[in-house]
Amino acid sequence: MKNIIITGSSSGFGLKASKDFADQGNNVFATMRNPDGKNAEKKAELEAYSDHINVVDMDVTSDESVTAAIDTILAEAGNIDVLINNAGIMYIGITEAYSVDQARFQMETNYFGAIRTMQAVLPVMRKAGSGLIINTSSLVGRISPPFFSTYTATKHALEAYSQGLRYELSPFGVDVVLVEPGPFGTGLLASGKVPDHGDVLESYGELAGVPAAMSEEFDQMLQSEDAPDPQWVVDAYLKLAELPTGKRPTRTVVGLTWGVDEINEKTQPIQDNALKEMQLDSVLGGTSA
């Protein structure tokens, strides 16, 4: 039995993962914003599903909220075995038309939010000499297609942070891994916002309508019978949690790959060799699978 924190548990992968980890008899702390307000129905659904699920109010964009939530969880559980950073938002549109504030808001959730939760649990994990952090990235954390740039930047940042942190934590028996889903029907598209700079949007002419058309095509594909099943991502979480420490792959691509699996296969040896060139491999436990 493990103590597991899952962020973004009100929908998508987080909601499914909370139920599946509870089914295995684990203690699940399903975190979300406004569980007694906007997400009251999701809280009721999860708590009715299993006695092993505890819904916790946590806003990953707030230092105070994260600290209070993790303190509450630790007071009850004593230790944390697995943290799954799943909370996220995604904007698709003309990149230049998104304001700095809009880009910053995505960064606060997708990148800084993950840092907040990791820093809150890592002292306990390091002291215990064990632990697993699963950071949910994306295919676009490794590639940069048009119209995704403000979102893509957050995932590239998360990838870089996680890779370096993985090396640093390996001597403490703590694993950091990335799951890179392709497109899935989880409602993430619905989190998007119209760009703030309408004048810039207008200046792009017909091209300005392409992102919306693309999103509509994605939505139709993800609702079809042949759509990738979000359960595949949850299964990846479950498998990673069961693997032995030090044997978990750095990155796991799930669903459509868009060549990202090939990128990972080719670049990880280069990444690890850089560690050797810096003469840090013996200090930080060698290479990263």
The structure's pTM equals: 0.93
Facing residues of 144 across strands?
none
Please indicate whether residue 179 or residue 229 has the higher confidence score (pLDDT).
179
Rg (C-alpha) for the chain, rounded Å, is: 19
What is the predicted pLDDT for the residue at 16? Answer: 95
pLDDT band at 190 (very low <50, low <70, confident <90, very high): low
pLDDT band for 62, please (50, 70, 90 cuts): very high
* Separation between Cα atoms, residue 252 and residue 175, nearest integer Å: 14
Q: What is the pLDDT of residue 274?
A: 87
Q: Which residue has the tokens 């304001």?
A: 99
Return the pLDDT at 286. 55
pLDDT tens digit string along 238-270?
999 999 999 999 999 998 888 999 999 999 999
Residues forming beta bridges with residue 135, ordered by sequence position: 85, 178
Q: What per-residue confidence (pLDDT) applies to 289?
A: 64
- pLDDT score at 118: 98
pLDDT band at 189 (very low <50, low <70, confident <90, very high): low
In one letter, which amino acid is 59? D
- CA–CA distance, 192 with 187 (Å, rounded to integer): 10
pLDDT of residue 215: 78
- Per-residue confidence (pLDDT) for residue 55, from 0 to 100: 98
The pLDDT of residue 140 is above 80: yes
Give catalytic residues, as residue numbers.
Answer: 151
CB 172 within 8 A of CB 128: no
Range scoring the smallest mean pLDDT among 4-8, 89-93, 270-274, 277-281: 277-281
Q: Is the separation of the CB atoms in 151 and 104 below 8 Å?
A: no
- Give the containing element (helix H, strand E) for 138: none
Could you tell me the residue ranges of all domains in the chain? 3-277
Q: What is the pLDDT of residue 162?
A: 98
Residue 219 has pLDDT above 80, yes or no: no
Structure confidence at residue 184 (pLDDT): 77
Q: From CA 162, how far away is CA 164, in angstroms rounded?
A: 6
Class for domain 3-277, per CATH? Answer: alpha beta
Chain segment 148-188, per-residue pLDDT in tens: 999 999 999 999 999 999 999 999 999 999 999 988 766 66
| pLDDT of the residue at 285 | 62
**Calpha distance 245→259 (Å, rounded):** 27
Kindly tell me if the per-residue pLDDT of 288 is higher than 70. Answer: no
